[in-house]
Amino acid sequence: MSGYASLTDEVRSSTVEVEGVADAVTFSKPQSAASRVALMLMSGAIGGAIGVFGPQYFPEAQIALWLVAGVTLMGGLLSTWSPCGYSSLCLLRPNGSYSAKSVLRYLPTLTLHGLGYAMGAVILGSLLALVGYALGLQNHIETGAIVLASIAVIYGAHQFGFLKVPYPQRRCQVPHDARQRFPKEAIGLLYGFSLGLNYLTYVQTPILYIVTGLAALSGNIMTAITLFLVFNAGRFLPMLVNLLPVTDRSVTAWLAQRQEQAATLDGALLVGAGSAILALYLV
């Protein structure tokens, strides 16, 4: 868990910039290189098999849709394993001790947080679709899919710790000082909107780049918005843990202890889905 042990402390600080956060997990000895190589190869083999044999049972377009939907949702979920994921979980907690009343008082905050995610998806999806349409990317779907699938495999190797590739992100958390300036309901909306735009804060999953590329490639506003609604739904789902009688410390500890597993799952999804799409279009 090297490089991530202090995340819980960072979340509780008022520091906005998190320049020290790495672009990829530094794996400990239990996560040996050999085991990661085996998992990466297995992910590629499973994805390739889906791409080769899947069309015998289902239409190619349907397989591609399932892959995109599943990876997009999981990408949003995996974004929880980042400073902003920790921040939103920790800072948007019900007030006081756990009770039915405290949960009911918390529901407006949770609802507005989800609304913020939806607003971000609409804005980001619309902008990317318009850019893609202006560039005529929708006329090159197959070529674009092959390019994005190749990028997915490369970023999968990045997540497994075998490559170091560019990771353009704004290394910021949600603005913690907003807690002193706004009521919690307003903070829920502000955080949801900031996180829903995805590029205003740090997201530790390259699946975001693939979703971004797909949204632009579609050249269709509704398709692009739907992609980010699914991704942001994955980002929002972990917030539901705040409806349960669990402590802030236990939630952040659980996340921190599974940082490496999250990274390898991320890598497996990228390599597997990328290999499947490549097999669909090239084999």
The predicted structure's pLDDT at residue 271: 98
- Site of tokens 């990829």: 24
Residue-wise pLDDT for 1-50, tens only, equals: 333 334 334 434 433 344 445 666 666 655 688 889 999 999 999 999 99
**169 half-sphere exposure, CB direction, 13 A CA radius:** 29
Average pLDDT, stretch 185-214? 92
Torsional sign, CA 144, 147, 150, 156? negative
27: left (phi > 0), else alpha (psi -120 to 50), else beta?
Answer: beta
User: Side chain identity at 119, as an amino acid letter?
Assistant: M
Give the residue, 38 or 92, on which the prediction is more confident.
Answer: 38
Please state the φ and ψ torsions of residue 17, each to the nearest 5 degrees.
-80, 140
What's the pLDDT score for residue 128? 98
| Structure tokens belonging to residue 174 | 């949600």
Q: Give me 123's structure tokens.
A: 């804005």
Spacing of C-alpha 100 from chain mean position: 31
pLDDT of 116 over the 90 cut: yes
pTM: 0.87
Given pLDDT bands bounded at 50, 70 and 90, which one contains residue 278?
Answer: very high
Report pLDDT for 283: 84
Average pLDDT over residues 54-71: 95
Instruction: Specify the higher pLDDT residue, 75 or 17.
Output: 75
Lowest mean pLDDT among 86-95, 155-164, 197-206, 254-263: 86-95
Residues 213-259: pLDDT tens digits? 999 999 999 999 999 999 999 999 989 988 988 887 888 788 888 88
Is the per-residue pLDDT at 198 higher than 90?
yes
Distances (CA, A) of 151 to 51, 92, 147, 182: 17, 35, 6, 41
